[in-house]
Amino acid sequence: MPCLSLELRNIRKAFGDTPVLDDISLSLEAREFVAFLGPSGSGKSTLLRIIAGLESADSGEIELNGRRIDLLPPGARGIAMVFQHYALYPHMTVRENMAFGLRNARVPADEIERRIGDAAAVLEITDHLDKKPGQMSGGQRQRVAIGRAIVKQPELFLLDEPLSNLDAALRLRTRVELAQLRRKVDAGVIMVTHDQAEAMTLADRIVVMNERVIQQVGAPMDIYARPANTFVARFVGSPPMTLAPVELVDGNGANAKVRLGDGSEIATKVPRKGLPAGALQLGLRTENVRVAAPAKTRPAAEVELVERLGERTLVYARLADGLAVTAEDKGDSRARIGDKIGLEIDGAGAHLFDADGIGHHAGGAA
C-alpha cells in the first residue's frame, strides 16, 4: 500500500455567496508530483492556498504525513510555497532572501549557511548569492524563489504557476530544471498550472479541475487516452479533441458503429453494451483523423486553415454538415485553404460521450 503524504477530505470553500470549492477529496503519495490543471476560476489556486494556510476552508480536513494541519498557522505546517511573482525582497541579496525565513525560525547560522550552499548548488545559482534580484534574469529569480523554499526542508512543496512569467525559451529550460529538481528533494510537490504541457511533462498525476470540483485524476497519458468527460476531452490535448454529434447505427456487433451528420459511418472499438440511450458525441483526437484523397467511402471536407509544424501538418477543415474537424497530414502536406479533401478516420481510436458528457472508451467506460 503506498505511503500517503497529503490527505484532503471534503474541502469546501465559498467567498460570500460564491462557491469556489465543492467537496474536494484527494490523496497525495509520498514524493509524488501532482499538477492541479484547469482554467481560470476552476478553484485550483484557492485549493493550493488552503493547503498552504493562506486561506481557510469552510469545512473539511487536511492531513500531512499523518498529522492534521488545517488548524495550524502557515509556518507550522511543514510546507513551502513558491509564488507566481517570486515575492523576493528587492533590497536583499540572494543569500539574504534565502536566509530570511530560517533566521526568523531561529535556525543556527552555520546550519543556514549549509542549507543555502546545498540549495544553491542544486539550482546552479552559487555564483549569484551576493547579487540582488534586480541584477538577475526572470529565470534566475525563479530559481532563487525555489531555493528559498528548498532551504526550509519542507514536507511538501507548493508551486503556484511557477513558469507563467517566463518567456517561451526560459519556460522550456526551467521546466527541464524542475523535472531534474524533483528527483533531488525528499518531499511531495503540488504545482498549479493552466498549461497542459507543463502538467503532462512534469506530473506523476494530474488533477483536472473545473466548476469547483475535480473532473478527473490520473497519470498524464491515462487522462489523455481515456478522458472522463467532454470537458477533460477538450481541455487536455492540443489541438482539442473534435466532438461530433452522432447517432448509433443499428446492429448486433459487440462494438458501437455510429453515423456522422453527413451520413458517414464510423466503426468504433467502444463496447455497444453499456452505452446509454440518447444523444451521443464521437470524440476524435487529431492523430486519429488523417487527410486523404476524396472518396465516396470517406467523409468529405473543405480546408479552412493549414498549420505547418515541420514534421507534421494540422489541417482544420469543415464537413458538409458544418462540423469543424482537425486532421493530421505529413510534414510536406500539399493541402491548401479551400481544397476539398477526404478524411480517413481511425475508429479504433475514437471515443463516445453520452448525453451527460461521460466518456466511453475502447475496453469500457472511463
Tell me what pLDDT residue 269 has: 93
The arithmetic mean of pLDDT across residues 123-151, rounded, is: 84
353 vs 83: which has the higher pLDDT: 353
Confidence of residue 27 (pLDDT cuts 50, 70, 90): very high
Query: Does residue 48 carry a pLDDT above 90?
Result: yes
Digit-coded pLDDT (tens) for 277-330: 778 999 999 999 999 988 877 889 999 999 999 999 999 999 988 899 999 999
Confidence of residue 334 (pLDDT cuts 50, 70, 90): very high
Query: Does residue 181 carry a pLDDT above 90?
Result: no
The C-alpha atoms of residue 71 and residue 67 are separated, in whole angstroms, by: 11
The C-alpha atoms of residue 265 and residue 259 are separated, in whole angstroms, by: 4
DSSP code of residue 311: S
Tell me what pLDDT residue 164 has: 66
Query: Does residue 264 carry a pLDDT above 60?
Result: yes
**Are 275 and 257 a contacting pair, CB within 8 Å?**
no
Confidence of residue 1 (pLDDT cuts 50, 70, 90): very low
Cα separation values, 250 from 105, 221, 265, 358, Å: 71, 32, 11, 21
Percent of the chain with pLDDT over 70: 93
Digit-coded pLDDT (tens) for 197-248: 889 988 999 999 999 999 999 999 999 999 999 999 999 998 999 999 999 9
Digit-coded pLDDT (tens) for 85-94: 767 888 989 9
The C-alpha atoms of residue 28 and residue 239 are separated, in whole angstroms, by: 30
Query: Does residue 117 carry a pLDDT above 60?
Result: yes
Tell me what pLDDT residue 336 has: 94
To the nearest whole number, what is the mean pLDDT of the chain?
88
DSSP 139-152: HHHHHHHHHHHHTT
DSSP code of residue 154: -
The C-alpha atoms of residue 270 and residue 364 are separated, in whole angstroms, by: 7
The C-alpha atoms of residue 340 and residue 304 are separated, in whole angstroms, by: 10
Cα separation values, 239 from 11, 116, 119, 197, 226, Å: 33, 43, 38, 12, 16
Q: Which of 46-50, 103-107, 338-342 has the lowest mean pLDDT?
A: 103-107
119 vs 52: which has the higher pLDDT: 52
The C-alpha atoms of residue 1 and residue 4 are separated, in whole angstroms, by: 9
Query: Does residue 3 carry a pLDDT above 70?
Result: no
DSSP code of residue 278: S
Task: Kindly list the structural domains of the chain, giving each domain's residue range(s) and its CATH number in brackets, ordered by start.
Answer: 4-228 (3.40.50.300), 242-365 (2.40.50.140)
Residue 18's DSSP bridge partners are: 15
pTM given for the model: 0.86
Helix 138-150 and helix 168-181, axial crossing angle in degrees, nearest 10: 20
Please, what is the Cα angle at 178 between 56 and 3, to 5 degrees? 60
Confidence of residue 171 (pLDDT cuts 50, 70, 90): low
Tell me what pLDDT residue 279 has: 86
